[in-house]
A and B are shown apart, each in its own frame.
Chain A
Amino acid sequence: MQIFVNSKYDFVRWRFMAVSFSVLFMLVGLAMFFKHGINWGIDFAGGATITLKFRDAVPMDRLRADLADASIQQYGKAEDRAILIRLPELKQETDYAGQVVAKLIKDLNPESATKLDLNFQGRDGLSELLYSLDPDAKGTLPTSKDYYRNVAQNVINKRSEVGIFTSISQATSAPGVTTAVARVLNEKCFLGAFNVLNQETVGPQVGAELQQKAIWAVVLSTLAMGAYLWIRFDLMFGASAIVCIVHDVLMSLAFLMIINGEFSLNIVAALLLIVGFSINDTVVMYDRVRENRRKLKTRMTLEEQLNLAMNQTLSRTILTSGSVVVVLVALILFGGKVIHEFAWILLIGVLAGTYSTVTIVPAVAIAWNHLTGRTHDLSGPAARSRVEARVETVPPPPQQRKRRVG
Chain B
Amino acid sequence: MTRGLLWKVILILVVLVGFAAATIPTQDNPEPIRRGLDLKGGTHLVMRVNVGDAVRLETDQASEMLKAQAKKTNLPIPVTRRVNDTTFVATLPADTPVTPYETIAKDFLGSFDTGRTPEGLMQFKMKTASQTAIERDTVAHTVETIDNRVNALGVTEPYIAPESGYRIVIQLPGVDDPARVKDIIKTTAQLQFRLVEGNPGSDAAAALASVPDNMKTEVDVMPGTKEDALGRAAGIEYYAVRKTVPVTGTDLKNARVQKGQLGQPNVGFSLTPDGARKFGDLTGANVHRRLAIVLDNKVVSAPVINSQITDSGVIEGSFTAQQAADLSLVLRSGSLPASLTTLEERTVGPSLGRDSIRQGILASIIGFIALVLSVLLYYKGAGINAVLALLLNLVILLGMMAIFHATLTLPGIAGIILTLGMAIDSNVLVFERIREELRDGKTVRAAIENGFSRAFGTIIDTHMTTIISALFLFQFGTGPIKGFAVTLLIGLFASVFTAFFVSRVIFDVMYKAQDRPTEISI
Contact of B476 among A205, A213, A324 (CB under 8 A): A213
Which B144-198 residues have a C-beta within 8 angstroms of A? 153-154, 175-180, 182, 186
The total of chain A residues at the interface (CB under 8 A) is 89
Please give, as numbers and ranges, the residues of chain A lying within 8 Å of B466 by CB-CB distance: 276-277, 280
A69-109 CB contact bits vs B (8 Å, 1 = yes)? Answer: 00000000000000000000000011101100110000000
- From B74-82, B365-373, B398-406, B495-503, give the one contacting chain A: B365-373
B469 and A276 contact, CB distance less than 8 A: yes
A197 and B352 contact, CB distance less than 8 A: yes
A280 and B465 contact, CB distance less than 8 A: yes
Give B177's nearest chain A residue, CB to CB: A122
Is A129 part of the contact surface with B, judged by Cβ < 8 Å?
Answer: yes
Please give, as numbers and ranges, the residues of chain A lying within 8 Å of B379 by CB-CB distance: 1
Report the separation of the CA atoms of residues A124 and B322 in the bound assembly, to the nearest whole angstrom.
9
Which B302-348 residues have a C-beta within 8 angstroms of A? 321-322, 325, 341-348
- From A173-181, A329-337, A370-378, give the one contacting chain B: A329-337
Is B418 part of the contact surface with A, judged by Cβ < 8 Å?
Answer: yes
Contact of A132 among B38, B265, B343, B368 (CB under 8 A): B265
Contact of A228 among B344, B371, B464 (CB under 8 A): B464
Report the separation of the CA atoms of residues A312 and B117 in the bound assembly, to the nearest whole angstrom.
82
Which A312-340 residues have a C-beta within 8 angstroms of B? 312-313, 315-316, 319-320, 322-324, 326-328, 330-331, 333-336, 338-339
Give the interface SS of chain A, mostly helix, strand, loop or mixed.
Answer: helix
Contact of A201 among B344, B411, B481 (CB under 8 A): B344
A93 and B341 contact, CB distance less than 8 A: yes
A323 and B342 contact, CB distance less than 8 A: no
Give the interface SS of chain B, mostly helix, strand, loop or mixed.
Answer: helix
B481 and A265 contact, CB distance less than 8 A: yes
A202 and B349 contact, CB distance less than 8 A: no
Shortest CB distance B173–A (Å): 13
- From A23-31, A155-163, A298-306, A357-365, give the one contacting chain B: A155-163
B48 and A93 contact, CB distance less than 8 A: yes
The total of chain B residues at the interface (CB under 8 A) is 87
Shortest CB distance A191–B (Å): 15
Please give, as numbers and ranges, the residues of chain A lying within 8 Å of B468 by CB-CB distance: 221, 224-225, 228, 276
Is B128 part of the contact surface with A, judged by Cβ < 8 Å?
Answer: no
Known: A95-B182, A272-B469, A276-B465. A323 touches B322 (CB 8 A): no
Report the separation of the CA atoms of residues A324 and B368 in the bound assembly, to the nearest whole angstrom.
10
A336 and B354 contact, CB distance less than 8 A: no
Contact of B481 among A120, A221, A266, A338 (CB under 8 A): A266
Please give, as numbers and ranges, the residues of chain A lying within 8 Å of B458 by CB-CB distance: 283-284, 287
Q: Which of A224, A229, A279, A284 has the most CB of B within 10 A?
A: A284
B367 and A331 contact, CB distance less than 8 A: yes
A272 and B370 contact, CB distance less than 8 A: no
Give A316's nearest chain B residue, CB to CB: B432
A264-303 CB contact bits vs B (8 Å, 1 = yes)? Answer: 0110110011011101100110010001000000000000
A336 and B359 contact, CB distance less than 8 A: yes
Contact of B177 among A125, A198, A276, A323 (CB under 8 A): A125
Please give, as numbers and ranges, the residues of chain B lying within 8 Å of A197 by CB-CB distance: 348-349, 351-352
Is A143 part of the contact surface with B, judged by Cβ < 8 Å?
Answer: no
B416-456 CB contact bits vs A (8 Å, 1 = yes)? Answer: 01101110110011001001100100000000000000100
Known: A197-B349, A331-B367. A217 touches B472 (CB 8 A): yes
Please give, as numbers and ranges, the residues of chain B lying within 8 Å of A343 by CB-CB distance: 414
Residue numbers of A with Cβ under 8 A of B are 1-2, 5, 51, 53, 93-95, 97-98, 101-102, 120-125, 128-129, 131-132, 156, 159-161, 163-164, 195-203, 205-206, 210, 213-214, 216-217, 220-221, 224-225, 228-229, 232, 265-266, 268-269, 272-273, 275-277, 279-280, 283-284, 287, 291, 312-313, 315-316, 319-320, 322-324, 326-328, 330-331, 333-336, 338-339, 342-343, 346
30 CB < 8 A contacts A-B: A51-B352, A93-B342, A93-B343, A94-B341, A95-B182, A95-B342, A98-B179, A124-B322, A125-B180, A128-B322, A131-B321, A161-B354, A164-B351, A196-B349, A197-B349, A198-B347, A203-B342, A205-B343, A220-B472, A221-B468, A225-B465, A228-B464, A269-B484, A272-B473, A275-B469, A312-B436, A323-B424, A323-B425, A330-B367, A335-B363
Seed contacts A95-B186, A320-B428, A322-B374; 15 additional CB < 8 Å A-B pairs: A5-B439, A160-B41, A197-B349, A221-B469, A225-B468, A280-B466, A323-B421, A324-B421, A327-B421, A330-B364, A330-B367, A335-B363, A336-B355, A336-B360, A339-B360
